[in-house]
Amino acid sequence: QKEVEQNSGPLSVPEGAIASLNCTYSDRGSQSFFWYRQYSGKSPELIMFIYSNGDKEDGRFTAQLNKASQYVSLLIRDSQPSDSATYLCAVKAGNTPLVFGKGTRLSVIA
Amino acid sequence: EPEVTQTPSHQVTQMGQEVILRCVPISNHLYFYWYRQILGQKVEFLVSFYNNEISEKSEIFDDQFSVERPDGSNFTLKIRSTKLEDSAMYFCATGQGANYGYTFGSGTRLTVV
């Protein structure tokens, strides 16, 4: 059974701070890692993906991957109230479908 | 930006009735998926579809479920005899290739009463 684990939160950060979201996965064969944002009642929206160990930056977002530790994280710099949402970690191995974690609810306090 | 379109946005049906959920994928995407999300729970994989056939399905996708691409553009999920526990948000997702992320449609909220 492939598992993707996330702390459900809520994670509360003040506006302008760095939000750090974490995810672990069980399948060592996982090759592709994705972060989705889901606002309440809406569909998941892809914000970042990472394939290689290390960091990948895109604007205020940085994804970090450590395959040896089976750990992937998302940093959101200069957090804004509009970043308040549930962040879903999703993992993929080869041609198999995306497996999602339950998500971490982020609340950015103005 | 290209979108995945789902209809209807909300469907209420009586237990035991058949429902068909519809999706129009992004035109150059080759991989199609159905996921569902029960309220407050995680997004769960149902079925993947590639080259006009099912490529993988989950334990949830039992004989009550079927998918097809009837006219080369629409992608449908049929639930033959709905149960109360089928109430969920159903998302269609499409992808360009095996290692790409998916684009999700806006979802169909299915309520079985």
Mean pLDDT calculated for residue range B67-89: 93
> Taking CB atoms and an 8 Å limit, are A43 and B91 in contact across chains?
yes
Q: Which residues pair with B43 in a beta bridge?
A: B37
For testing contact with chain B, the best of A39, A50, A98 (most B CBs within 10 A): A98
Q: What percent of chain A has pLDDT over 90?
A: 93
| Mean pLDDT taken over chain A | 95
What is residue A79's DSSP assignment? -
Q: Inspect the interface and report whether the beta carbons of B99 and A46 lie closer than 8 Å.
A: no
Tokens describing residue A73: 């994280």
pLDDT-based confidence at residue B97 (cuts at 50, 70, 90): confident
Residue among B29, B13, B39 nearest B107 (CA): B39
E strand segments, chain B? 5-7, 10-13, 19-24, 31-37, 43-50, 53-57, 65-68, 75-79, 88-95, 103-104, 108-112
Report yes or no: B100 and B2 within 8 Å, Cβ to Cβ: no
Query: Residue A40 pLDDT > 80, yes or no?
Result: yes
For residue A33, is pLDDT > 80?
Answer: yes
**Residue B37 pLDDT greater than 90, yes or no:** yes
Question: What gap in Å lies between CA A107 and CA A24, rounded to an integer?
Answer: 21
Q: In chain B, which residues have their Cβ closer than 8 Å to the Cβ of A34?
A: 101
pLDDT > 80? residue A89: yes
The percent of residues above 90 in pLDDT, for chain B, comes to: 81
Q: What type of residue sits at position B113?
A: V
Reply yes or no on whether the pLDDT at B1 is more than 80.
Answer: no
Contacts of B56 in chain A (CB under 8 A): 96-97
**Chain A residues in contact with B43 (beta carbon < 8 A):** 44, 88, 90, 100
Instruction: Identify all chain A residues contacting B101, using CB atoms and an 8 Å cutoff.
Output: 32, 34, 46, 49, 90, 98
The set of residues, in sequence order, having a beta carbon less than 8 Å from that of A106 and lying 6+ positions away, is A9, A10, A11, A13, A19, A21, A76, A79, A83, A84, A85, A86, A87
Mean pLDDT (whole number) for A19-46: 96
B95 forms beta bridges with B31
**Nearest chain B residue (CA) to A91:** B101
State the Cα–Cα distance between residues B79 and B37, nearest whole angstrom: 15
Give residue A2's pLDDT. Answer: 80
| Residue A78 confidence (pLDDT) above 80 | yes
**Is residue B71 scored above 90 in pLDDT?**
no
Q: What is the pLDDT of residue A1?
A: 72
